[in-house]
Amino acid sequence: LKDYLINFLTRPFLLDTNNLITLKYINMTPDVSVIVPVYKVEKYLERALRSLEEQTLKNIEFILVDDGSPDNCAEICDIYAQKDHRFKVIHKHNEGLGIARNTGIEIATGKYIGFMDSDDAIDPNMYNSLYKSAQSANADCALCGMRKELSNKKFITLLDFNNEHIFEKKEITNLMLDIISSPPKSKKERNIQISVCRGIYKKDIIIKNNLNFYSERIYPSEDLIFQLNFFNLSSKIIFIPYIFYTYYFNQSSLSKTFNPEKIIRMENMYKHIKILTQKIDPKSLRINKLFIGFCRNQIKQINNLPLSRKERNKLMSQICTNSTLNKVSLEYPTKYFSVPNRIFYLLMIKKQYKLLAIYSQLHTFFKHVLS
pLDDT tens for residues 38-72? 999 999 999 999 999 999 999 999 999 999 999 99
* Mean pLDDT of the region 101-109: 97
* Mean pLDDT of the region 198-216: 96
How does DSSP classify residue 67?
E
* pLDDT band at 17; cut points 50, 70, 90: very low
Q: What phi, psi does 191 have (nearest 5°)? A: -85, -35
- The Cα 96–Cα 40 span in angstroms is 12
Q: Which 3 state secondary structure label does DSSP give 88?
A: strand
Give the model's pLDDT for residue 24.
Answer: 42
* Mean pLDDT of the region 173-177: 94
Q: What is the pLDDT of residues 315-357, one digit of tens each?
A: 999 999 999 999 999 999 999 998 989 999 999 999 999 999 9
Beta strands in 197-289 (DSSP E): 199-202, 236-247
Which residue would you say has higher pLDDT here, 222 or 122? 122
Indicate the pTM of the whole model.
0.88
Task: Give the closest residue to 21 by CA, choosing from 113, 90, 117.
Answer: 90
Answer whether residue 290 shows pLDDT above 80. yes
* pLDDT band at 371; cut points 50, 70, 90: low
For the chain, what percent of residues have pLDDT higher than 70?
90
Count the alpha carbons within 13 Å of 166 in the hemisphere toward its beta carbon: 12
Residues 6+ apart with CB under 8 A from 322: 263, 267, 295
Q: What is the mean pLDDT of the chain?
A: 89
- The Cα 52–Cα 365 span in angstroms is 38
Answer whether residue 193 shows pLDDT above 90. no
- The Cα 324–Cα 315 span in angstroms is 16
Answer whether residue 166 shows pLDDT above 50. yes
Answer whether residue 3 shows pLDDT above 50. no
For the chain, what percent of residues have pLDDT higher than 90?
77
* pLDDT band at 364; cut points 50, 70, 90: confident
* Mean pLDDT of the region 171-176: 94
Asked if residues 190 and 178 have their Cβ atoms less than 8 Å apart, the reply is yes
Give the model's pLDDT for residue 255.
Answer: 58
* Mean pLDDT of the region 183-187: 91
Give the model's pLDDT for residue 19.
Answer: 41
Give the model's pLDDT for residue 254.
Answer: 56
Beta strands in the chain (DSSP E): 15-16, 22-23, 32-38, 60-67, 87-92, 112-115, 121-122, 141-149, 155-158, 165-168, 199-202, 236-247
Distances in Å between the alpha carbon of 242 and those of 72, 118, 165? 34, 21, 12
Give the model's pLDDT for residue 141.
Answer: 98
- Picking from 44-48, 215-219, 281-285, which range would have the lowest pLDDT averaged per residue? 215-219
* pLDDT band at 190; cut points 50, 70, 90: confident
Answer whether residue 20 shows pLDDT above 60. no
- Picking from 138-142, 203-207, 237-241, 251-255, which range would have the lowest pLDDT averaged per residue? 251-255
Task: Give the closest residue to 87 by CA, choosing from 160, 144, 33.
Answer: 33
* Mean pLDDT of the region 174-192: 92
Give the model's pLDDT for residue 152.
Answer: 79
Q: At what angle do helices 285-303 and 339-349 cross, to 10 degrees?
A: 80
